Amino acid sequence: MTTQETSQVPAANAVCLLTLVLPHTVEAAVLELLESSAALESGYSVLPAQGLGIGAQLHTVMEQVQGRARRVLVQAVLQQDQLPALLESLRAAVPSSEVSYWVAPLLEHGRLA
C-alpha cells in the first residue's frame, strides 16, 4: 500500500475512538441516544463483552457463578470536538457508575475500497 492510498487524519481535524462499556440493562437507552446523535452519523459498533475485576458488579446468579459481568462494548469514531457534548448527553441519559468509557486518538481511519 502506498502513501497515496492511505488517508492520514490531519491534526486540525482530530478524530478519536470512543469506547463505552455498559451493562446490558442500559443498552437500549444508550443505543437510542447514539442513534439520534449527529456525531455518530457514520455509525458505530456494538459487541458483547464480559467485565471482570473490582469494578464489575455481578447482578445475576450466573454472573456470580462465572465471576464476570455481562457487558456491551460500543465503539465509535468521531471528531474530537464532538466528544464533550456526546459525553454530556450520555451522562444525563444514563447516570450510572457501571458505564465506563475511554477515548483514544485515532491516527488513521478509512475504508479499504
Cell of 46: 456494538
Quote the CA–CA distance of 36 and 58 in Å, as a whole number: 30
* Cα angle for residues 55, 30, 98 (degrees, 5° grid): 10
What CA–CA distance (Å, rounded) separates 58 from 91? Answer: 22
Share of residues in the chain with pLDDT > 90 (%): 52
Cβ atoms of 27 and 70 within 8 Å: the answer is no
Q: Is CATH 3.20.20.80 the right assignment for the domain spanning 14-105?
A: no
Residue 17: the pLDDT is 95
- Contact between 74 and 44 under an 8 Å Cβ cutoff? The reply is yes
Predicted structure pTM score: 0.78
Bridge-based pairing of strands 100-105 and 45-51 is unpaired
> Looking at the predicted structure, is the pLDDT value of residue 12 above 80?
no
* Domain assignments of the chain as residue spans, ordered by start: 14-105
The CB density around residue 39, as the number of other CB atoms within 10 Å, is 18
pLDDT of residue 2: 44
